[in-house]
Amino acid sequence: MAETTGDEAVETMTEAEAVTELAALAKTLAKANDAYHTDDAPVISDAEYDRLKRRNAAIEARFPGLKRADSPSDQVGAAPAEAFGKIKHAIRMLSLGNAFDEGDVRDFDARIKRFLDLPESTNLAYTVEPKIDGLSLSLRYEKGRLAHAATRGDGAIGEEVTANARTISDIPATLTNAPDVLEVRGEVYMSHADFASLNATQADAGGKVFANPRNAAAGSLRQLDATITAARPLRFFAYAWGELSAPLADTQWDALARLKALGFSTNPETRRLEGPDALVARHAEISAIRAELGYDIDGVVYKIDDLALQARLGFRSTTPRWAIAHKFPAETAWTRLLGIDIQVGRTGALSPVARLEPVTVGGVVVSNATLHNEDYIAGRASDGSVIRGGADLRLGDRVEIYRAGDVIPKVRDIDLTARPEGTEPFAFPDICPECASPATREPGESVRRCTGGLICPAQRVARLKHLVSRGAFDVDGLGDKEVERFHDLGWVARPADIFTLEARHGTGLQTVANLEGWGETSAANLFAGIRAARRQPLGRVLFGLGIRHLGEVAGRDLARHYGDWSAFVAAVDAALPAAAAHRAAEAAAAVERAAAAADGRRARLAEARSPPWADIPAEAKAAWDDIVGIDGIGATLALAICDALLPGQERDAIDALMAELEIEAPEVVATASPVSGKVVVFTGTLEKMTRAEAKARAEALGAKVSGSVSGKTDILVAGPGAGSKAVKAAELGVETLDEDGWLALIGDV
């Protein structure tokens, strides 16, 4: 492994060294490809894979004559996963928020009571279920027959694995007395004993040995040949459901009993308990019997028992408010820090990654860990406080690694007594390792960023990857690897280039179809995928731009607020002077803070001084207020948007992309509701529900909740004590309702 991760400069490498390293890289990358695509057991992280690919390309570029017949540069590696059919889940498969300690659990319980406006002393009932460490599966039964089975995929669309699921004995093929439509959800897993004997058999037969039971379960379920799955000892616990034509029960506890009565396995360690003390106590009990369970669990899940309360609590964008996973403490191991790589991300952030002597942490081989930023390496947290007793990280250090659940491994501690002689503190680069542009730190920020923008190849590629990714344009046939390939060939640099690729490289000599690993059919599929991706909802377009802080939810919120691209861009253009004033005020405050700190005075928590609005045109201020008035969009995001759209090269690239697209008006969430598409403002005291619940409920019905009354407001819901907002609504002639009027309107009374 050592020679494949070498970091001697390519420029000074001898030909003999290049031959050896190219051979090693070909071997390592081929292994990594196999592990990733066919075995469900990645042996190296994506980042490390990318780094090795880049290094291989760099060596080949310097010694073109040494390029191997089996060069990794020529391998596209179509994932066999493509061969599975896709299934859109009738109801999204979500994940769970995490609690790591008792405090988090108490916060979770308190949050629920606040949301529901229940007295703090209430002891809410929860089910407490082991969190099975396998992979989730959704089983759709129609009229009692298993119609299809799908993996979670990205939550919205999963892979169809019906034939495979039918081979699992815990999964009934038919049900009696079940609702006509019943989607049962649960976890496919493998017991420790079955995992050990499967690995023994595999080893004897010279087959693949799995790293842990979860990988073995995933690899066994995701087999194109269901007879292979049938030969693997998979099991299934049911713990949730998706679409239902009739309710299963009134409580989670009874619903689990119903699933059991229908013939599913449910986890025998499940309990129904009241109040956070009991939850935490059960977590401790389960933790104590964890090793004897015979299968892997990575925590305990608490779910509000009463399904009516679950419905009231609803969901955040990807997790329910009514459940949480209380994880077991992280697993740790000691190893050696071999190197520190700097990766440059989509927004230019320089992220240091530790290269480690490979070590097993909780069943997984770890050879990389995140180091966050330069302060973290130096032994400081982002607020300036000391971490690890202030010890900085140096190459050769013995370090303690930890990982909790699926999170990226981190460095927890250093053993300074084992530090080799003559080490130096790590010099964090102040120029971008990818494009040599200056890498700078904004005052008050812990992250150093490359200022190269689209000049920087790393930022360019990362932005292109983001643009075509699932949550954004979701271009069929165009994944990370293809983006890199086209970028390396110089065929695609700016987002708009994706949409002109067919015109430029669809015919002639330098065509996509002529590339190694491609052909007429795959090229035609790619171009069809790209053509289809020209039509996009505004929210996805905004998200796809890859602007800092602008996530999928904010993309949708902005789309709903502005309705179309030209309105959005006109508003941002109008707000630019206000953004500049804001930025200047923030910078002045940061300088003041730094000066105070340097003076030895106690740095005050200086609030950003309000910008000198007097100097700014009224339209700019109005446009700025309009953006930051959108619920969930703060000044930070508004500034990032304004920065991204400043006139210049980057803006030109955005405009060029827009010229290629056909942007759809934002989708209205629930058309049937009397308030869908309406802008609603809540003010004053609500008596029947909390503000948070009212907001969540309104949004679930397709309304847009805003924090301030303006000409765009459709309804003001005013409780007792409503003040200036009610006055403004009256002035503007906005429809004003009291709480009962609102509930009557949305049909809640």
Exposed e or buried b for every residue in 138-168, given b needs 16+ CB within 10 A? Answer: bbbbeebebebbbbbbeeebbbbbbbbbbbb
Minimum CB separation of residue 319 from ligand IVH in Å reads 7
| Per CB under 6 A, 229 contacts ligand IVH | no
407 or 528: whose CB is closer to ligand IVH? 407
| Per CB under 6 A, 94 contacts ligand IVH | yes
129 or 397: whose CB is closer to ligand IVH? 129
| Per CB under 6 A, 331 contacts ligand IVH | no
Q: Which of residues 110-129 bind ligand IVH (CB under 6 A)?
A: 129
Minimum CB separation of residue 216 from ligand IVH in Å reads 16
Q: Which of residues 133-162 bind ligand IVH (CB under 6 A)?
A: 136
31 or 316: whose CB is closer to ligand IVH? 316
Burial bucket for residue 378 (CB in 10 Å: 0-12, 13-18, 19+) = middle
Those residues whose C-beta lies under 8 Å from the C-beta of residue 490, and which sit 6 or more positions away, are: none
| Per CB under 6 A, 320 contacts ligand IVH | yes
297 or 645: whose CB is closer to ligand IVH? 297
320 or 409: whose CB is closer to ligand IVH? 320
Looking at 10, 43, 87, 132, which residue binds ligand IVH (CB under 6 A)? 132
Minimum CB separation of residue 240 from ligand IVH in Å reads 5
CA 11 vs CA 5, 233, 248, 659: distances in Å: 16, 52, 67, 41
| Per CB under 6 A, 483 contacts ligand IVH | no
Whether 533 contacts 475, CB under 8 Å: yes
Minimum CB separation of residue 184 from ligand IVH in Å reads 12
**Which residues of 233-330 form beta strands (DSSP E)?**
235-244, 271-274, 297-304, 323-327
Candidates 94-102, 493-501, 546-554, 734-742 — which segment interacts with ligand IVH by CB under 6 A?
94-102
Minimum CB separation of residue 322 from ligand IVH in Å reads 8
131 or 485: whose CB is closer to ligand IVH? 131
| Per CB under 6 A, 702 contacts ligand IVH | no
Candidates 131-139, 202-210, 511-519, 655-663 — which segment interacts with ligand IVH by CB under 6 A?
131-139
Looking at 221, 240, 439, 447, which residue binds ligand IVH (CB under 6 A)? 240
| Per CB under 6 A, 361 contacts ligand IVH | no
Looking at 96, 654, 657, 717, which residue binds ligand IVH (CB under 6 A)? 96
User: Which pairing describes strands 704-706 and 125-132: parallel, antiparallel, or unpaired?
Assistant: unpaired
Whether 744 contacts 718, CB under 8 Å: no
Q: Which amino acid is at 693?
A: E
Tokens of 340: 């520190």
Tokens of 596: 């105070």
Residue 92, Ramachandran bin (φ over 0: left; ψ between -120 and 50: alpha; else beta) = beta
Minimum CB separation of residue 242 from ligand IVH in Å reads 10
Distance, CA of 282 to CA of 612 (rounded, Å): 56
Minimum CB separation of residue 404 from ligand IVH in Å reads 12
**Catalytic one among 53, 131, 327, 465?**
131
Those residues whose C-beta lies under 8 Å from the C-beta of residue 634, and which sit 6 or more positions away, are: 628
Q: Among this protein's residues, is 410 annotated catalytic?
A: no
Q: Which residue has the tokens 């209380």?
A: 326
Minimum CB separation of residue 468 from ligand IVH in Å reads 25
C-alpha 673: how far from its chain's center? Answer: 30
| Binding-residue total with ligand IVH (CB under 6 A) | 14
126 sits in which H/E element: strand 125-132
Distance, CA of 570 to CA of 521 (rounded, Å): 42
| Per CB under 6 A, 324 contacts ligand IVH | no
| Per CB under 6 A, 626 contacts ligand IVH | no
3-class secondary structure for 15-58? HHHHHHHHHHHHHHHHHHHHHHHCCCCCCCCHHHHHHHHHHHHH
Minimum CB separation of residue 134 from ligand IVH in Å reads 7
Minimum CB separation of residue 320 from ligand IVH in Å reads 5
Minimum CB separation of residue 325 from ligand IVH in Å reads 5
Tell me, residue by residue from 252 to 291, as one string, x for binding to ligand IVH by CB under 6 A and - for no binding: ----------------------------------------
Q: Which residue is nearest to ligand IVH (CB)?
A: 136
Candidates 34-42, 130-138, 341-349, 640-648 — which segment interacts with ligand IVH by CB under 6 A?
130-138
Distance, CA of 602 to CA of 626 (rounded, Å): 36
131 or 448: whose CB is closer to ligand IVH? 131
The contacts found for 245-251 with CB under 8 angstroms, 24 or more apart, are 245/179, 245/180, 245/181, 245/182, 246/179, 246/180, 247/307, 248/179, 248/182, 249/307, 250/306, 250/307, 250/308, 251/125, 251/305, 251/306, 251/307
Whether 76 contacts 518, CB under 8 Å: yes
Closest CA to 331 of 296, 380, 381, 292: 296
96 or 686: whose CB is closer to ligand IVH? 96
Candidates 89-97, 105-113, 245-253, 609-617 — which segment interacts with ligand IVH by CB under 6 A?
89-97
Q: Return the DSSP state at 551.
A: -
259 or 581: whose CB is closer to ligand IVH? 259
Looking at 46, 70, 95, 740, which residue binds ligand IVH (CB under 6 A)? 95
Geometric angle at alpha carbon 295, from 289 and 301, rounded to 5°: 70
Dihedral, 376, 378, 383, 389 alpha carbons, nearest 10: 100
| Per CB under 6 A, 701 contacts ligand IVH | no
| Per CB under 6 A, 234 contacts ligand IVH | no
236 or 682: whose CB is closer to ligand IVH? 236
Minimum CB separation of residue 81 from ligand IVH in Å reads 18
Residue 419, Ramachandran bin (φ over 0: left; ψ between -120 and 50: alpha; else beta) = beta
Neighbours of 325 (CB within 10 A): 19
189 or 426: whose CB is closer to ligand IVH? 189
| Per CB under 6 A, 323 contacts ligand IVH | yes
User: Which pairing describes strands 157-159 and 364-370: parallel, antiparallel, or unpaired?
Assistant: unpaired
| Per CB under 6 A, 296 contacts ligand IVH | no
Whether 336 contacts 360, CB under 8 Å: no
Candidates 91-99, 100-108, 386-394, 723-731 — which segment interacts with ligand IVH by CB under 6 A?
91-99
Neighbours of 383 (CB within 10 A): 7
Burial bucket for residue 720 (CB in 10 Å: 0-12, 13-18, 19+) = exposed
Minimum CB separation of residue 90 from ligand IVH in Å reads 14
Q: Which amino acid is at 666?
A: P
In angstroms, what is the C-alpha Rg of the chain?
28
Q: Which of residues 386-415 bind ligand IVH (CB under 6 A)?
A: none
Looking at 84, 239, 264, 624, which residue binds ligand IVH (CB under 6 A)? 239
130 or 577: whose CB is closer to ligand IVH? 130
Burial bucket for residue 506 (CB in 10 Å: 0-12, 13-18, 19+) = middle
404 or 639: whose CB is closer to ligand IVH? 404
Candidates 206-214, 319-327, 411-419, 741-749 — which segment interacts with ligand IVH by CB under 6 A?
319-327
| Per CB under 6 A, 325 contacts ligand IVH | yes
C-alpha 253: how far from its chain's center? Answer: 31
| Per CB under 6 A, 187 contacts ligand IVH | yes
Binding residues (CB under 6 A) for ligand IVH: these are 94-96, 129, 131-132, 136, 187, 239-240, 301, 320, 323, 325
- Catalytic sites, residue numbers: 131
